[in-house]
Amino acid sequence: MRNHHNLRAFQLADELAVAVYRHTANFPREEQFGLTSQVRGAAVSVPSNIVEGCAKASEADYVRFLDIAYGSACETQYQLSLAHRLGFLSDEGFAAVDTIAVETAKVINGLIRAIRKRSEV
């Protein structure tokens, strides 16, 4: 089986989830069941799907879960942007967490492309 701990994509995704939790801690209380919950769920979905994909036996299942992780990373980026535009995240806070989110999505996408290319051979 694959070891998710060795994947840069997982390491970044885990860092993203922690950063999102930290940066959303001071969101308005009325957003607890709104945007706070949404962005946290999307962020946690990224490493969770990488872990689940690594546990699958087939390459097709592995890539399918990486695709879901990539989608969740993109969703997280949008929700962070929205939170910033609504004034829930400072410019500095947004820049810090968005940098991690963008890098996470890029690395996951690269991993997906590499696996698909390897599978074509």
Alpha-carbon dihedral angle through residues 118, 44, 76, 60, given to the nearest 10 degrees: 20
Total of domains in the chain = 1
- What is the model's pLDDT at position 16? 98
- Mean pLDDT (the chain) is 96
- What is the model's pLDDT at position 32? 92
- What is the model's pLDDT at position 119? 80
Q: What is the CATH number of the domain that holds 63?
A: 1.20.1440.60
Segments forming the whole domain that contains residue 34: 4-120
| Per-residue pLDDT reduced to its tens digit, 8-44 | 999 999 999 999 999 999 999 999 999 999 999 999 9
81 burial level (CB within 10 Å; 0-12, 13-18, 19+): middle
The Cα–Cα gap between 80 and 94 comes to 7
| Per-residue pLDDT reduced to its tens digit, 56-66 | 999 999 999 99
Mean pLDDT for 61-79 is: 98
Instruction: Report the percent of the chain where pLDDT is more than 90.
Output: 95
